[in-house]
Amino acid sequence: MTGDLAITSLRGGAIDAIRATDLDRKTKLAQESATRWFARRVSLRSPLDAALPERPGRPDKPVLTPPTQVEKRSLHTLKGRIALLHAIAHIELNAVDLALDIVARFASEQVPNSFFDGWMQVAFEEAKHFRMVRARLNDLGADYGDLPAHDGLWQAAHSTRHDLTARLAVVPLILEARGLDVTPSLQAKMRETGDLESADVLDVIYNDEKGHVAVGAKWFRFLCAREKRDPAKAFQELVRANFRGPLKPPFNDLARAEAGLTPSFYRSLASISHA
């Protein structure tokens, strides 16, 4: 499985995974780069690393459309459950590339190696999530790529490509934290419809995502401490500068707090946007 993966360094493996258009290869490269890095069998960077692409590699499908054009369907129908799982697969695939991009793009930052440990753990788990959701789609007679998907996640990350603190504010502390808010109700709805297998997949994702938000919060606080900035204030400033749209309640305050994201960070942003 891994013999054909010539990984030059952690950054090189991450870049090759981002560039890969074959999704099996992308997830294998992500996980194998993580495994070799955890064992300290690769260096952080190498002169042989490929260039970081503007956009991640993707197969021809799904067709990417604006978020407003992605159709909403009831979870009480098979089509609706497939549509939800397809949307989740798309989010998880973007999350693989976003975790890898943090590692590759910021490989020259003055941060401890444990920073890269954390993000490669995230990349490894997001690859696992994508495979799990895709396998569940296959069980239901569908596949990733069958439906259109939106491009908002990558665009949000692209806007923070020059500022690691802003990237951490937007990706883990807004986009991933949103998953903590919405996933429990989706799990409950899947169970109501009798689709316990899909609910179990969402359960794995939900528990792992708490850890992903925690990685983001830990390193956001680390960078703020180094710059002598108040984390909650810095978060609010960075969100206003780099994120379009409001932060929408309801918030899963308990899960967010467990991950180190307390209401002082996000409550004022939500109340301003609803004024």
* CB-count burial class (<10 Å; 0-12, 13-18, 19+) for 143: middle
Neighbouring-strand partners of residue 65: 150
Residues 215/122, Cβ–Cβ less than 8 Å: yes
Write out the E strands in 110-233.
149-150
Position 271 scores a pLDDT of: 54
- What does 136-184 look like in DSSP terms, one character per residue? HHHHTT--TTSS-EE-HHHHHHHTTTT-HHHHHHHIIIIIIHHHHHHHH
Q: Per-residue pLDDT tens, the chain, 275 aa: give them.
A: 444 678 999 999 999 999 999 999 999 999 999 999 999 999 999 999 999 998 999 999 999 887 777 677 788 899 999 999 999 999 999 999 999 999 999 999 999 999 999 999 999 999 999 999 999 999 999 999 999 998 777 877 788 989 999 999 999 999 999 999 999 999 999 999 999 999 999 999 999 999 999 999 999 999 999 999 999 999 999 999 998 777 888 999 999 999 999 999 998 888 554 33
Nearest 5°: the CA angle 208, 53, 19 is 60
CA separation, residue 234 to residues 59, 132, 169, 170 (Å): 37, 36, 9, 12
Contact 85, 183 (CB under 8 A): no
How do the domains of the chain map onto residue ranges? 64-271
What are 32's two structure tokens?
A: 């194998």
Please give the CATH topology (third level) of the domain spanning 64-271. Answer: Ferritin (1.20.1260)
Specify the pTM. 0.93
Q: What does the block give as tokens for 169? A: 């504010």
Tally: H helices and E strands in the chain: 11, 2
Question: Where do we find the tokens 């502390």?
Answer: 173
